[in-house]
Amino acid sequence: MMKYISCLIVISVLFTSCEKEEIKQITYRVNEAYTPVEINYLDKDGEISTVVFAFESIEDEWTYNFEAKPGDIFYASAMYSDSLSSVSIAVLIDDKVFREKYSEKEPRRYTTVSGTIP
Amino acid sequence: MRKQEQKWLLLIFIALLMGNVDILAQGRILGYIYNSKTQEPVNEAIVKLNPGNKRFYSTNQGFFYFDKLKAGNYQLLITHVGYPDTTIKVELDKNEIKEFNIQVVSEYEHLEAVEIQSRFIKRPPYLQAKVSREVIEKRSVSDVGTQLRSTANISGIRKGGTSIDPVVRGFKFSQLNVQANTGQKIEGGCPNRMDPATSHIEIEDIESIEVYKGPYTFRYGPALGAVINLNTTQPVVYDTFGVRLRALKGFIGNWNGEKDYLAVNGGNRYWYFNFSGSNKDFGNYEAGNGKTVRSEYKKYHYRGQVGFTPSQNHSFIFSYNHSGGNDIAFPALPMDERSDQTNLISFDYKARNITKVIGGFSMKLYHSGVNHEMDNKSRPFSDTVVAVSEIEAMNRGLRSEIQLELRSSQLIIGVDYENISKDGERVKNMIRQPGLPVKREDLWNNAFITNLGLFGEFETKVGRYNLVLSTRADINQAQSDDMRITAPGMGEIYHYASDSIETMHTNFSLSAGLTRQFSDHISGSVSIGRGIRSPDMVERFIMLLPIGYDDFDYLGDPQLKPEENHQMDLTFNYRQKKWGQVKVNTFYSVVRNFITGKRLPPAQQMPLSKDVIGVKRFYNADWANMTGFELSYGSPLIYNTGIRFQSSYTYGFIKEAPVYITNDAGEVVDEEIIENDALPEIPPFEGRLTFHGNYIGNKLKPELTLRAVSAQNHVSESYNEPATPGFFTADFRLTYLHRTMLTVNGGIRNIFDKTYYEHLNRNIIGTSRPFYEPGRSFYINLVIDIK
């Protein structure tokens, strides 16, 4: 009988060791612009997508959400053409800002946030 | 207290409740079983002891053991497929220890009688080290490389928390022939050897590790410096249907590491199985100075084997093993291993006692596939470039041998073949640049090597002499697609056209060894050998990667010549039942066409990697020399308390080597040739003293190991190798056999919490900071064995 008790103990302990892979919610957020901005970002399929978003006021915001694993690459960059404009670009992990950059009066220069998900 | 620790204590508490302590009976019966003809140990023989109905499966060394026996008359029954049942009557006095050397005769030979005598057992004339599972479990190590480091004159190169790369007497990498279960080769995926072959076999599955030092035995394939054979547990043949369960739960404090292992085997005389699986999750450890060292890793594996014995002398075994690793940190390398997926498949056929002359035949077919992925995502440089490399490495082959019994001699002849292929690339994501440009660089370009070998090994015994001759011939071919690297804006920065890549070598290796038994206690051996190995994948085909000990990108040379080791070993052995065993060995080796690296002028080749000072190409240096000794003493096991001592030293140098002079900016400004420069990564002198005991009816086994390692000041100028200081450490281990089915072992490593590092530990990448070994660590294991 004790053999089986030991066996059950060992097996139950063994099975408590398994871990599920962590999935994180990633959000690219672009705002604080009031002129059109070209946004390049690495999408959920691992491809570079390009969108031109016509910001009209500083209240406008562009976001993109997807799920990713730790170690996946994130990349988003924004560029505006108007010499007096600005843009803020951020990457949020599980709704918390992980990396953020701001540009003002730097037309035709890419502002990029990139890295790997911790 | 952490939840995990609470779980542990509860587990031990429950286990301890399940038995009682019997300290009254201390008699023991132990011994070894040998094939009387071949003198090979007979493993997996069922040894039954009555009265008591106890059972023991002899180990790979043929060892069996019964303890806590009361005085009385016993009967030993030895059964094994291929051998007739053997019965021995034993009369045991109170607290008496009886030891037997049992000679059993194959069923198809004339059965005269079972001999029980302490006769001379044949030993090979060269040094061999064998480590059993019992020893491995006691030390609770997490990988094969770490276990091997505790063997005399075997060290290891540490680049991370696990996967230590073995170095035997200064020989390393492809100078060592590493294989599993006599014949299955594994090609690691990483050019920087994150995953040497030893890392693909889980230590918990190992039944024994055999190391044959020197270029003397060629049954296992080309051997230059040593052969390391990792024997995993195999399905057991039962006379009637039975099932055996073995489970292990371990915890290591400093690393916050946890490991689990479960194995179930069973079957009967005709069919049998063996299934096992393990899981390990280790964190970072603290060195003696309290600093955290990145050493985390996660590993798992599962394995299944089924066997079939249609008649007594024929068996078939099919094995499948899958192992994986995730997030394995290598702080001494430019990348970490993100994922490893390894599949090992083999099919074995064995026959024995085919005719009076043909004693055995075996054949193995195997496939070893490694998918290795690594990246720099945990490194500061990944803020600029995220580099990800994925490599597919495969080794497929076969091995077959036939054993011929010729009176008092044995001849083994056989053939082996392996096909190694490698393909992979490095993808660089330039994450700071607009549009996320991606660069792809080949690491290997459909490279492959094939090796076909024929071998023969003859062993004979004439009077007090034992002679062993071994030889092999290899035909080695290698090929790759174009070796080419291009870079944006720079065009083609390296190109080696495929029309001159193909090479073929024919190698002949030969050795002879003689043992003279001077008396019942004293023997002496001499071995002389010439072992040849062809260049490996890295040395032939690597393209501008910083894979060496120094800060250079390395280039392969497809036209390299094979390396030849000419070596001699002298061994003296004294063995006396009351006083123990002393073994002294000295070796002298000259390696011709020694493969190492030489710098190319920048005008000829610019480097590709960041933070390197130039490019080195592999070339054949004239010769290098390695010489050294090993000394060991072990007190007799018949006493309850004993000691073991071992010390070793290797001195290695190269005839001529270039030394590079750098300026303050780290640029090479000059070069000069020096003579007799030290070889890099040669371990210093070390001595190890172990006190051990068997108490409370052999239930309690404490061990204290003291280890002293000298400074290494004989260092390579050519490789800009730093000298390292000596150190002293102490480890304590305690094994408690609570009942026959339950063992608890635990211990403390580095008792004095010393801050130290081995000479062979690589520095943390990009710094001159050493890679410290763990500080004080507590560990505990619970092993349950239900038969």
- Taking Cα atoms as reference points, which of B575, B592, B591 lies closest to residue B583? B575
> Would residue A59 count as lying in a domain?
yes
CB atoms under 10 Å from CB of B530, counted, come to 19
Pull the structure tokens for residue B283: 């964190």
Taking only residues 21 to 80 of chain A, the set having a beta carbon closer than 8 angstroms to any beta carbon of chain B reads 40, 42, 48, 71, 73, 75, 77, 79
Q: Which residues of A touch B20 (CB under 8 A)?
A: none
Q: Which residues of A touch B429 (CB under 8 A)?
A: 73, 75
Q: Does B431 touch chain A (CB under 8 A)?
A: yes
Task: Give the CA count within 13 Å in the CB-facing half-sphere of B462.
Answer: 5
In order, the DSSP letters of B704-768 are: EEEEEE--B----TTTTPPPB--EEEEEEEEEEEEETTEEEEEEEESTT------TTSPPPTTSS
CATH superfamily of B226-786: TonB-dependent receptor, beta-barrel domain (2.40.170.20)
Q: Which residues of A touch B431 (CB under 8 A)?
A: 73, 75, 112, 114-115
The whole-number pLDDT of residue B734 equals 94
Q: Can you tell me the distance from the alpha carbon of B24 to that of B26, in angstroms, rounded to the nearest whole number?
A: 6
pLDDT of A105 strictly over 70: yes
**Residue pointed to by tokens 């002849």:** B413
Residue B256 near residue B282 (C-beta atoms within 8 A): yes
The whole-number pLDDT of residue A11 equals 56
CA distance A1 to chain B (A): 10
CA distance A25 to chain B (A): 19
Domain count for chain A:
1
Substitution target from A1, A10, A19, A41 for chain B, most B beta carbons within 10 A: A10
Please tell me what DSSP assigns to residue B175.
G
Please tell me what DSSP assigns to residue B443.
E
- Write out pLDDT tens, residues A12-38: 555 455 555 689 999 999 999 988 999
Q: Which stretches of chain B score pLDDT less than 70?
A: 1-25, 37-39, 60-61, 81-82, 106-123, 488
Q: Does B14 touch chain A (CB under 8 A)?
A: yes
Residue B345 near residue B379 (C-beta atoms within 8 A): no
Structural domain of A79? 22-116
User: Which part of chain B is CATH 2.60.40.1120?
Assistant: 26-116
Q: Which residues of B670-688 are buried (b: 16+ CB within 10 A; e: fewer)?
A: eeeeeeebbbbbbbbbbbb
The whole-number pLDDT of residue A13 equals 53
Fold assignment, B129-213? Ferric Hydroxamate Uptake Protein; Chain A, domain 1 (2.170.130)
The whole-number pLDDT of residue B17 equals 45
Instruction: Write the secondary structure of B52-117 as one string of H (helix), E (strand) and C (coil).
Output: CCEEEECCCCCEEEEEEECCEEEEEEEEECCEEEEEEEEEECCCCEEEEEEEECCCCCCCCCCEEC
- Write out pLDDT tens, residues B431-483: 888 888 888 888 888 899 999 999 999 999 888 899 999 999 999 999 998 88
Q: Which residues of A touch B434 (CB under 8 A)?
A: 40, 77, 79, 110, 112
Does the structure's ipTM exceed the value 0.95?
no
Considering the four listed CATH numbers 2.60.40.1120, 3.40.50.300, 2.70.70.10, 3.40.640.10, the one that applies to the domain covering B26-116 is 2.60.40.1120
CA distance A105 to chain B (A): 18
> Would residue A89 count as lying in a domain?
yes
The whole-number pLDDT of residue B115 equals 32
Residue A22 to residues A46, A75, A117, B256, B257: CA-CA distances in angstroms? 18, 20, 11, 20, 20
The whole-number pLDDT of residue A7 equals 58
Q: Which residues of A touch B12 (CB under 8 A)?
A: none
> Would residue A45 count as lying in a domain?
yes
CATH of the domain at A27: 2.60.40.2880
Sign for the CA dihedral angle at B563, B569, B575, B580 comes to negative
Do β-strands B314-328 and B503-517 pair in parallel, antiparallel, or remain unpaired?
A: unpaired
The whole-number pLDDT of residue B78 equals 87
Q: Can you tell me the distance from the alpha carbon of B601 to that of B288, in angstroms, rounded to the nearest whole number?
A: 43
The amino acid present at B653, given as its one-letter code, is F
- Tell me how long chain A is: 118
The whole-number pLDDT of residue B82 equals 65
Pull the structure tokens for residue B340: 């490893």
